[in-house]
Structure 1
Amino acid sequence: MTSADLAAVDRIAARVHSAYPEEPAVFAERLRLHPAGCRVLVSDTAAITGYVISHPWHLGKPPALNVLIAQLPLPAQTYYIHDLALLPKARGSGAAARIVGELAVHALELGLPALSLVAVNGSVPFWEQQGFAVDEAAAADDRIASYGDDARSMIRRLT
């Protein structure tokens, strides 16, 4: 992902995650803080059909929805998948599973023992298929409540 892709990322986010709006500054900040974790999915027609925003973070303490984080923690305890969104035409292609696999490799390269995320939109079954489990210990965190009633903190141990 480059800064030139952010307008397309914002459009996809507004379409895929309309119930979870975030300001463009949130995506721009994550790209600035950890460009290696911000990627776009490009179709064979060169159109952006999906994206992922991810970065090192605190285990069990996801950032609240639509907030700037200013800096990444040192040391980090997990690799956080902030957002993974695919347009309908990209779904079912295996792209999401490939992206998660690439992020797991990246997390291990950074020396991080886990992937974590907040599942929304009833996506817990998808994430369970990717090896994640609901993190009950983080369930009471107010930041997770900012994602809605069905939001679940999830974790996938890598080591």
Structure 2
Amino acid sequence: MPWRPMTAQDLAQAQILADTIHVDHPEEAEVFAERLRLYPQGCLALEGDGRLIGYALTHPWHFGKPPALNSLLGEIPHDATTYYVHDVALLPEARGRGYAAQIAEKLACHAKATGFGNLSLVAVNNSQGYWERLGFHTRSVPGLEEKLLSYGPDAVLMVRELAQALS
């Protein structure tokens, strides 16, 4: 699998990818650096032709309480209840080649091995259907509506139960 652990040397390229891919969801370099420092095993890079063509930032968190965009976590909670997928980003040239499905399975295996019963994420940019094909489904959490709007008008909280097989 071409996904590998992210290193500090990847941060500048990951930031460029984020700024290119997530124009409507900008995040500062400190967000990337902190995720890597706090939970390096959840930060992965996808390399192609000697450069970054994708990345994933993930970490344990509290279910139904996604971190605000462009915010620092401070620490990984000891009482985390979900394995949170903060961001999976692929350049157009990397899409349609199975890399997102690969990383979803890699993250599911890691989450399960570390004791989590689910993965969760906030789907943005009309990506809900894509995540559904990877075994995620929407979940309504009372009181979360306003926070989800900060991610964009189409943002939805999604969860994948790890006992559930992909269809």
Is 2:12 aligned against 1:7? yes
1:143 CA displacement: 2.8
Q: Which residue of 2 aligns with 1:100?
A: 104
- Indicate conservation of the 8 Å contact 1:139/1:153, yes or no: no
TM-score scaled by length of structure 2 = 0.91
1:71-130 Cα offsets, whole Å, 9 max, x none, are 011121000000000000000000000000000000011100100000000000000000
Q: Which residue of 2 aligns with 1:60?
A: 64
**In 2, distance between residues paired with 1:152 and 1:130?**
15
Q: 1:133 to 1:69 in 2, by over 3 A?
A: same
TM-score scaled by length of structure 1 = 0.96
For 1:123, which of 127, 135, 138 is the aligned residue? 127
Q: Which runs of 5+ in 1 are unaligned?
A: none
Q: Percent identity?
A: 50
Which amino acid in structure 2 is aligned with residue 5 of structure 1? D
Q: Which runs of 5+ in 2 are unaligned?
A: 1-5
Q: 1:138 to 1:119 in 2, by over 3 A?
A: farther
**In 2, distance between residues paired with 1:115 and 1:51?**
17
**In 1, distance between residues paired with 2:84 and 2:154?**
19
1:17-58 Cα offsets, whole Å, 9 max, x none, are 010000010011000010000000011x22110000000000
- Indicate conservation of the 8 Å contact 1:132/1:155, yes or no: yes
Aligned length: 158
For 1:42, which of 47, 52, 61 is the aligned residue? 47
Query: Structure 1 stretches (4+) deviating beyond 4 angstroms?
Result: none
Q: 1:72 to 1:141 in 2, by over 3 A?
A: farther
**In 1, distance between residues paired with 2:27 and 2:121?**
16
